[in-house]
Amino acid sequence: MSSFWRDKKVLLTGHTGFKGSWLALWLQRAGARLVGYALPPPTEPSLFEIAAVADGMTSIEGDLRDLDHLRVVIDRHRPEVVLHLAAQAIVRASYEDPIETYSSNVMGTVNLLEAIRLEPSARSVVVVTSDKSYDNLELERGYREDDALGGRDPYSSSKGCAELVTRAYRDSFFAAAEPPVAVATARAGNVIGGGDWGRDRLVPDIMRSFLDRRPLYIRYPQSVRPWQHVLDPIGGYLTLAEHLWREGERFSEAWNFGPPDEDPLSVGAMVERIQELWGESGEVELDPGPHPHEHHLLRLDPAKAEGRLGWKARLELHDTLDWVVEWYRAYGDGEDMRQLTEAQIDRYQAL
């Protein structure tokens, strides 16, 4: 575990969400002086509550759209590193409430960067967006950081907007700040892992069907996604933040964190693989819809992060699914889920 994080003052937005909870536990184990800023957990149950993530950190309930509150929090805690994960993260929900999606994902990012600008203390800032920020042309190859941004649904376009907002703040304000503030964006694919209870997400849907013994409904069995364990991209965010701290100007740009090319798997094949690992196969049905538009093929090219950051996905997909099934099986058996989650973090870092 890198000694870089010991006693670093870190602000993590979105710490009550799935990825944010994993990252909060990792930072706690690394000895960071961690402050979280987020709305209440977005799901019931939630990893944040199941694993007692609030223990060992300062957890602040707040809305990114409240600039005044953000300024107070940053002025009070003076973070040196900021990791921005808070977002409305579900594609289908963005069709139901596009205003909520844009206000959270775009203006929330604006407010955070503005608060960092007005209350200077941060030296390293990572803004997490999404692989869906690319203009998806259903290419066979993985998207690279210099490919065009876009998005045909509100969620995807909101993440493309967050990329543009971050670039504008970096070029207009942070690059010329004294001392400079190093700001980068991070794009990751379909992240899976224990403790995800998000609506309209494949792994949570599968696990709910097992644990509640009810049929599983899937929408697009032929769709291919860049599946990866949650610890791979958040390890990338931490690596990127450290590089920004040490050599900010060289790394203040966009970065992909994705799985190897050989790991893509269709939704249907993922269901079959997880059923085999769980040891039983429940009823699976095709959800007749109607469904809003979703792309069927999406891959990322992580070559830049591998070459320049020295980052590489450590878990192959078969190991990822083993860890996912281990987590949910332990949850179903009533085990201590903070202990198990931390054990997986330690096991990952030992790879």
What gap in Å lies between CA 167 and CA 185, rounded to an integer?
A: 9
What does each C-alpha distance from 23 to 30, 57, 191 come to in angstroms?
A: 10, 12, 13
Question: What is the reported pLDDT for 23?
Answer: 98
Give residue 196's identity as a one-letter amino acid code.
Answer: D
Cα–Cα distance, 125 to 11 (Å, whole number): 9
Q: What is the pLDDT of residue 36?
A: 98
Q: Would you state the structure tokens that stand for residue 166, as one six-digit string?
A: 């971050």
pLDDT at 250: 95
Q: Are 180 and 252 in contact (CB under 8 A)?
A: no
Q: Total domain count for the chain? A: 1
Can you give the pLDDT at residue 298?
Answer: 78
CATH code of the domain in which 206 resides: 3.40.50.720
Three-state SS annotation for 44-107: CCCHHHHCCCCCCCEEEECCCCCHHHHHHHHHHHCCCEEEECCCCCCHHHHHHCHHHHHHHHHH
Burial tier of 195 (Cβ tally within 10 Å: 0-12, 13-18, 19+): buried
Question: Is the torsion defined by CA of 68, 123, 229, 268 positive or negative?
Answer: positive
Q: Measured on CA atoms in the order 254, 259, 262, 263, is the torsion positive or negative?
A: negative
Using CB atoms within 10 A of its CB, is residue 35 exposed (0-12), middle (13-18) or buried (19+)?
A: buried
pTM for this predicted structure: 0.94
| The pLDDT value given to residue 220 | 73
Please give the chain's pLDDT, 351 residues, in tens: 679 999 999 999 999 999 999 999 999 999 999 999 999 999 999 999 999 999 999 999 999 999 999 999 999 999 999 999 999 988 888 888 999 999 999 999 999 999 999 999 999 999 999 999 999 887 878 899 999 998 888 999 999 999 999 999 999 999 988 888 999 999 997 899 999 999 888 999 999 998 888 888 887 788 777 789 999 999 999 999 999 999 998 999 999 999 887 666 788 889 999 999 998 776 777 676 666 656 557 789 999 999 999 999 999 999 999 999 999 999 999 999 999 999 999 999 999
**Residue 290: C-alpha distances to residues 99, 217, 294 (Å):** 22, 13, 12
- What would the two tokens of residue 106 be? 């775009």
Instruction: Check whether the bond before 292 is cis (ω within 30° of 0).
Output: no
Alpha-carbon distance of 130 to 132, in angstroms, equals 5
Structure letter (DSSP) for residue 173: I
pLDDT at 138: 78
Q: What are 278's two structure tokens?
A: 């769980």
For 69-103, give one letter per residue: b (16+ CB within 10 A) or e: bbbebbeebebbbbbbbbbbbbbebbeeebeebbb
Beta strands (DSSP E) in the chain are: 9-13, 33-38, 58-61, 81-84, 124-128, 182-188, 191-192, 216-218, 224-225, 228-229, 254-257, 265-266, 284-286
Residue 224 has what pLDDT? 77
3-state secondary structure of 165: helix
**What 3-state class would DSSP assign to 149?**
strand
Q: Which domain holds residue 160?
A: 3-349
What's the pLDDT at 136? 85
Please report, as a single letter, which amino acid is at residue 76: R
